[in-house]
Amino acid sequence: MDIAEVAKHTGVPASTLRYYEKQGLIASVGRQGIRRRFAPGVLDQLALISLGQAAGLSLDEIRSMLLPNGQPSIDRQMLADKADEIDALIKRLRAVSRGLRHAAACPAPSHAECPSFQKLLKAAASGALEKRWRRPGLKLPYK
C-alpha cells in the first residue's frame, strides 16, 4: 500500500504517517522508486497507536510498548495501571460534573452566593482539581 492508501483506510493524514515513521512508531517496507510502501500490518499498528492515545499514552510511551518489529508487547500490568489512572480521572471528572450541574441548577441570584458553587471553588482553590492533564484523550465508540 502506498501512503495515500494507508491514509485513506485509517484516516491518519499522510503527514502524520511520515511523522510516525520518523518517530519509529511505524515502518515502511522499502520503497517503490521514491515512494514508501507499507505492509497491511501497519493498519493494525496504527490502530494500536490510536488506542494508546485514547488511553492517554504519549507517543513515547506507545513506542515503548512496541517491539522493534512493530508487534505490540504490552505489559498487562501496565494496562491495569493505565486503567486505574483513567478510573481516577473519571472520579475527578464526575465530581466536577456534579458540581457544575449543581451550580447550574442553583437558585441563588449569583454564583457568589451559591453554597455548592462555593464548595467547588474551594476544592479548585485547594488544588484538589488538576489544572492540566498530562495529555490527550479519546473520542470513543459507544456514544
Partner DNA sequence: CCTTGACTTGAAGTTGACTTCAACTCGTAC
Partner DNA sequence: GTACGAGTTGAAGTCAACTTCAAGTCAAGG
Footprint of DNA (CB under 7 A): 2-5, 13-16, 18-19, 22, 32-36, 53, 58-60, 131-132, 135-136
Rounded CA gap, 59 and 124, in Å?
A: 30
Footprint (CB under 8 A) of a second copy, residues 33-62: 43-44, 46-48, 50-51, 53-55
Quick check: 94 and 129 in contact, CB under 8 A? no
Rule CB under 8 A: is residue 67 a binding residue for a second copy? Answer: no
Range in contact with a second copy (rule: CB under 8 A) among 17-25, 26-34, 71-79? 71-79
- Shortest Å distance, C-beta 36 to a second copy: 20
CA distances from 126 to 61, 115, 130, 131, 138 (A): 31, 16, 10, 12, 28
How many whole angstroms separate alpha carbon 137 and alpha carbon 13? 19
Between the alpha carbon of residue 33 and those of residues 37, 69, 110, 120, 126, the distances in Å are 10, 23, 68, 61, 60
Listed in sequence order, the residues at least 6 apart from 107 whose beta carbon sits closer than 8 Å to its beta carbon are none
Q: 31-32 and 35-36: which strand pairing? A: antiparallel
122 binds, among a second copy, DNA, none (CB under 5 to 8 A by kind): a second copy
Tell me the site size for a second copy, rule CB under 8 A: 66
Query: Pattern 84-123, binding to a second copy, x per CB under 8 A?
Result: --xxxxxxxxxxxxx-xx-xxxx---xxx-------xxxx
Question: Which residues are at the interface with a second copy (CB under 8 A)?
Answer: 10-11, 43-44, 46-48, 50-51, 53-55, 71-72, 74, 76-77, 79-80, 82-83, 86-98, 100-101, 103-106, 110-112, 120-133, 135-143
